Amino acid sequence: MTTSSIPPARPFHYPRPKAPLHCGKVSLQALARRYGTPLYVYSADQILERLQLFQQAFAGREHLVCYAVKANSALAILKLLADHGAGFDIVSGGELQRVLAVAPQAAERVVFSGVGKTIPEIDLALNAGILQFNVESEGELELLAERARKLKRKARFALRVNPDVFAETHPYISTGLREHKFGIDIRKALGIYRSVAGNRWLQPHGISVHIGSQIRSSEPFGSAVARVHKLVRQLEREGIPLKVVDAGGGLGIDYHAGHFDAAAKVAEYAEAISAALQGYNGRLLLEPGRFLVAQAGALVGRVLHTKRNGSKTFVIADAAMNDLIRPALYQAHHEIVPVSPRPGKKHVVDVVGPVCESGDFFARDRELPPLRAGDLIALLDAGAYGMAQSSNYNTRLRPAEVLVQGGKARLIRRRETIADLLAPEQITAQ
């Protein structure tokens, strides 16, 4: 990737020669000056553009795009998506409370996934009147029935089945095989639906599948949904019609410098899903997360120092693994570009943070343009699993977040203070 030509899949660009990097019409240099660094910057325009790609691709059938909140749970982003018709895929009671805080009316567009739902979380969701629970074990289904009876609220549920479909992705984010902790063996699902067909407090509402994340090919999605559709037809023959097929999420992006056609990817994905569901007239749920927000975001940091140790050159930034853990956790690749490029020859460097861990790095042996102390850098494609997985390790304050829409930028989360971090702690017995 050249600093003058960032692929259009990203909203970050240099508007003219010698101009600093912009998000839309807003200069990242100006944002860093105003809000400090490290700083997360997101494009609202691209988030909505990606949402609309899904909505348009599936316009020919009843569907609901349920954004996977775990990717980025910023309240302003949830409100933006809710206002444009999105539903939400949640995996905790806390995520449900975030949705309810910004859009209480969106509760009926929420699906609750996850392998370990607690009683308080189930009760919260039942009382809120969510669309459905994606149930991942027989024990969970028994607990759901018990809580529904206790609260006298019928629970709509979908079994999350495990179709044993292999998807080429990182092993930490693959979820569709029998040895994974997620889902119920698809061969057992028919018997489970039969066993609760007469339960007063449980309503078999749908069926769910999710095979993993950051999957670049549409073929595994089509294969998984085809297996689910076969089971749906069998259930219909036995008098257990399902109103919903939840195809999950997991459609991947390109974190590297190559050309990435988001519209073509969504079209290919929609074709695979639609072919697998031919003849099914119920509602389709989709759970994209990363695809909507990852390329819309960047983490902006400032170079503190550069140094040489033997043959290695290190660029030390004020951003660190506590701000963006993906490179340390998944060995993930993020493109790194200078906000204001300097002329000169590129050098092979390691880009690292100040945290006291050897794993605190963003890039190793990366060829980058010249960088000096005080320069700003942008780590691209950081809108998903960036701030959402951040921490206060080394008692570091988490970044501020800014949302850019059109030519305007607004602060959607202030930078933490040391008072925020210390407030929950106690020194003496109470």
pLDDT of 3 over the 80 cut: no
312 and 240: one domain?
no
In a shared domain, residues 23 and 85: no
Residue type present at position 66: C
Residue 370 is predicted with a pLDDT of: 97
Q: What is the pLDDT of residues 109-164, one digit of tens each?
A: 999 999 999 999 999 999 999 999 999 999 999 999 999 999 999 999 999 999 87
Nearest of 90, 42, 3 to residue 342 by alpha carbon: 3
The CATH number of the domain holding residue 340 is 2.40.37.10
Task: Find the angle CA(7)-CA(377)-CA(169) to the nearest 5 degrees.
Answer: 55
| pLDDT number for residue 176 | 39
Annotation marks residue 356 as catalytic? yes
Q: Is residue 238 part of a domain?
A: yes
Residue 227 and residue 196 share a domain = yes
7: confidence class by pLDDT, cuts 50, 70, 90: confident
* C-alpha to C-alpha distance for 305 and 314, rounded to whole angstroms: 8
Q: Which among 260, 292, 324 is the end of a domain?
A: 292
Q: Are 218 and 334 found together in one domain?
A: no
Question: Cα angle vertex 185, ends 180, 189, to 5°?
Answer: 150
pLDDT of 349-390, one tens digit each?
A: 999 999 999 999 999 999 999 999 999 999 999 999 999 999
Q: Could you tell me if 76 and 383 are in contact, meaning their C-beta atoms sit under 8 angstroms apart? A: no
What are the distances in angstroms from CA 20 to CA 92, 279, 373?
A: 40, 52, 17
Q: Would you say residue 118 lies in a domain?
A: yes
Tell me which of 250, 272, 292 is where a domain ends.
292
DSSP-derived pairing of the beta strands 283-286 and 63-68: parallel
Confidence of residue 11 (pLDDT cuts 50, 70, 90): very high
Closest CA to 406 of 116, 113, 24, 69: 24
- Residue 303 scores a pLDDT above 60: yes
pLDDT at site 164: 78
Answer yes or no: do 84 and 163 share one domain.
yes
Q: Which domain range does residue 303 map to?
A: 12-36+296-422
User: Do both 118 and 257 map to the same domain?
Assistant: yes
- Tell me, yes or no, whether 353 and 286 share the same domain: no
| pLDDT value of residue 5 | 61
Contacts of 429 (CB under 8 A, 6+ apart): none
- At residue 197 the predicted structure's pLDDT band, cuts being 50, 70 and 90, is confident
Q: How many domains does the chain have?
A: 2
Whether 179 shows a pLDDT value over 60: the answer reads no
pLDDT value of position 166: 59
Whether 150 and 260 share a structural domain: yes
Please check whether residue 428 lies inside any domain of the structure.
Answer: no
Q: What is the pLDDT of residues 261-275, one digit of tens each?
A: 999 999 999 999 999
Query: Is there a single domain that holds both residue 246 and residue 263?
Result: yes
Task: Establish if 427 belongs to a structural domain.
Answer: no
CB 70, CB 291: distance < 8 Å: no
Domain final residue pick, 292, 311, 326: 292
237 and 94 fall within a common domain: yes
User: Would 395 be classed as within a structural domain?
Assistant: yes
Give me the pLDDT at residue 316, please. Answer: 98
Question: Of the listed 279, 308, 309, 356, which one is catalytic?
Answer: 356
What value does the mean pLDDT take over residues 237-257?
96
Contact predicate 330/305, CB 8 Å: no
143 and 259 belong to one structural domain: yes
Mean pLDDT computed over 318-336? 97
Provide, rounded to the nearest whole percent, the portion of the chain with pLDDT above 70. 95
Query: Beta partners for 41?
Result: 298, 402
Whether the Cβ atoms of residue 381 and residue 297 lie closer than 8 Å to each other: yes
Give the global pTM.
Answer: 0.94
Average pLDDT for the chain: 94
How sure is the predictor about 2, in pLDDT bands with cuts at 50, 70 and 90?
low
Alpha carbon distance 87, 286 (integer Å): 9
Residue type, 112: F
Domain assignment of residue 6, yes or no: no
Cβ neighbours, 10 Å, residue 200: 10
Residues 6+ apart with CB under 8 A from 151: 123, 126, 127
Rounded to 10 degrees, the C-alpha dihedral 263/264/265/271 comes to 110
Residue 169 has pLDDT above 80, yes or no: no
Q: Is residue 7 part of a domain?
A: no
Q: Is the pLDDT of residue 172 over 50?
A: no
222 and 368 both lie in a single domain: no
Q: How far is CA 194 from the centre of its chain?
A: 34
- Residue 306 — pLDDT band, cuts 50, 70, 90? very high
Residue 406 maps to a domain:
yes
Q: Is the pLDDT of residue 181 over 80?
A: no
Residue reference for tokens 């963003």: 362
Nearest one of 341, 346, 381 to 362, comparing CA atoms: 381
Q: 59 exposed, middle or buried (CB, 10 Å; 0-12, 13-18, 19+)?
A: exposed
The pLDDT score that the predictor gives to residue 219 is: 94
Give me the CATH number covering residue 228: 3.20.20.10
Give mean pLDDT, residues 167-177: 45
Q: Which residue has the tokens 């910023």?
A: 74
